[in-house]
Structure 1
Amino acid sequence: MGNFTMTSPEFEDQDPLQLVHEFNGFDGAGQNRSPALQWQGAPEGTKSFALTLYDPDAPTGSGFWHWILFDIDPSVTRLAAGAGSAGATDLGASGTQAANDYGLTGYGGPCPPVGLPAHRYIFTVHALSTPKLELPANPTNAVVRFVINQNTLAAATLTGLYKRSARGVAMTV
């Protein structure tokens, strides 16, 4: 059995994300496009996947959850660029999207305050021991994450970095 890993054709681990990934709202001027992601080496017994995107550096006291996707069919091992950007709850075999901390369903891109050091955006794919999370309608992302964590067999992460120097201008890190 190989190691459980996640990669992206758009960025390497610890490399900068792009302006196209930035949130389009508040004072963000990006296209709010989720990056393409792929994973391999899930452990035996994986019955579904879940994906989260978290910024532990957000000045909130508790970080910021940018994307929660769950009930991904075990046959799915990649998400196309923009897969989470539709705002749709049900993505078929690619899972169900929960509300992010922006209060929107689906992917909400990075939008750290201008002038702060780069924030870390941690994409995590969870290999789950259950085919469905069996959640109530419109669960909060905290409830979804709790149930994901209760059913995780293994997890793989990929971290992108992002900072802004001026409104609508992404900076490399």
Structure 2
Amino acid sequence: MEKTELNFVCTGMKTGKKIPIEYTGRGQNISPEFIIKNLLPNAKTLAITLEDLTHPIKKFTHWIIWNIPATDKIEKGIPAGKKVLGNAVQGVGYGFHQYAGPKPPKGKKHIYLFTIYALDCELNISANSMKGTFLRRAKGHIIQSGNVIGEFE
């Protein structure tokens, strides 16, 4: 079965453009609001990753969260903690169980990738897991995914 791309917007951000300061480690360091446009009806949960594509460690994970109830709007400012938004789990990204916005070295522009995954189930994974574990366990359950790329200096 061919997957339908998941279309979404990161409020205040356009693909390929600068990430708003409030979503960065130099601003309020809060997760953005996401508006999802074409979520399939059989989606049960959503997951989000934020990766730094420019970091010396390839695809360095700043944030990972899964088991967000399927919805067309994810509010900004998801709080720190292993369990949030009901059953949602924040795994280990940037060494923490929370959103860690872009904060590259001063004067260096980095490229960041937000990816949202729609899954047909809830995953039973330890909050101490990282992106690799999430992707292995989600394999075969991801029914849609999409991304938005931004930059920050």
Same fold (TM > 0.5): yes
Deviation at 1:144, TM superposition (A): 1.8
8 Å CA contact 1:125–1:155 kept in 2: the answer is yes
| Alignment TM-score, normalising by the size of structure 2 | 0.86
Name the counterpart of 1:106: 98
How far the C-alpha of 1:9 sits from its partner, in A, is 2.3
Structure 2 residue aligned with 1:41, among 29, 38, 42?
38
Q: Are 1:78 and 2:69 counterparts?
A: no
Shift of 1:119: 1.7
Q: Are residues 3 and 146 of structure 1, via their aligned partners in 2, closer, same or farther at CA, if it must alter by over 3 Å?
A: closer
CA contact (8 A) 1:3 1:42 kept: no
Q: CA offsets per residue over residues 22-60 of structure 1, 9 Å max, x none?
A: 22xxxxx43211111111212342221111111111122
Q: Identity, % of aligned pairs?
A: 24
CA shift at 1:67, angstroms? 1.0
Distance 2:127 2:88 in 1: 14
Aligned pair in 2 of structure 1 residues 52, 137: CA closer, same or farther (>3 Å)?
Answer: closer
Q: Which residue is equivalent to 2:120?
A: 129
Using the TM superposition, give the Cα deviation of residue 139 of structure 1 relative to its aligned residue in structure 2, in angstroms: 2.1
Q: CA deviation at 1:94?
A: 7.1
Whole-Å separation in 1 of the counterparts to 2:74 and 2:30: 12
Aligned residue among 6, 15, 18 for 1:16: 18
Cα distance, 1:141 vs structure 2: 3.3
Structure 1 Cα separation of the partners of residues 136 and 37 of structure 2: 24
Alignment map for 1:79-94 (pairs within 5 Å): 79-83=74-78, 86-93=79-86
Cα distance, 1:82–1:15 mapped onto 2, change above 3 Å: same
Which segments of 5 or more consecutive residues in structure 2 lack a partner in the other structure? none
1:4, distance to aligned residue in structure 2 (A): 2.6
**Is the 1:79–1:94 Cα contact (8 Å) retained in structure 2?**
no
* Amino acid aligned to 2:64: I
Structure 2 counterpart SS, 1:57: coil
CA distance in 2, matches of 1:139, 1:94: 15
CA offset at residue 18 of structure 1? 2.3
Computing the radius of gyration from Cα coordinates, the structure with the larger value is: 1
Amino acid at match of 2:55: A
For residues 156 and 110 of structure 1, the distance between their equivalents in structure 2, rounded to whole angstroms, comes to: 19
